[in-house]
Amino acid sequence: MGYSLAQIGMEAEAEVRVARAEVSEAAFTTEGSRPEEATKDFFVERNGLRFAGTHLILDLWEAQRLDDGPFMEEVLKRCVEASGATLLHLHLHEFTPNGGLSGVAVLAESHISVHTWPERGYAAFDIFMCGDARPHAAIPVLREAFRPRWVNISEQLRGAF
């Protein structure tokens, strides 16, 4: 039996909730496993959980302007600014003849990467940030810029303990 994309999205959200609960439970039941804080390591502490950073995976479907390199560069810079991150380097590669793009914004706080398939109206974004950066603030920037019909988002707390 096949699944609709909506069903797959709901199942993925449920899996994310279960994984968060498991990570939260592990963080509170593993006594003595947290390292001493001698230096600033830019780990994040939220709701009693300590982790390296938030990794968002975004799938944009029926999106626009996915083959426009200068526009993508501008959008990635706006994502970095909205997130309060620090841009170190931005590199995009434009593919021919389909016009897809692949690229990465290397951040002091980690990265934002993108891969597009304009012939399918699909874009895959990874947003991973640590420290005080706010990766979720990039989501409205991407929605406004590319006007996708729908977006699938998953979140992973990297290095949680």
Token digits of residue 43: 């780990």
Candidate list 55, 79, 83, 110, residue with the active-site label: 110
> Is residue 55 annotated as part of the catalytic site, yes or no?
no
CA atoms within 13 A on the CB side of 11: 6
Candidate list 55, 79, 83, 130, residue with the active-site label: 130
Using CA atoms, how far apart are residues 72 and 5, in angstroms rounded to an integer?
Answer: 26
The three state secondary structure string of the chain is CCCCHHHHHHHHHHHHHHHHHHHHHHHHHCCCCCCCCCCCCCCEEECCEEECEEEEEEEEECCCCCCCHHHHHHHHHHHHHHHCCCEEEEEEEECCCCCCEEEEEEECCEEEEEEEEHHHCEEEEEEEEECCCCHHHHHHHHHHHHCCCEEEEEEEEECCC
> Is residue 110 annotated as part of the catalytic site, yes or no?
yes
Candidate list 113, 115, 136, 154, residue with the active-site label: 115
- The residues carrying an active-site annotation are 110, 115, 130
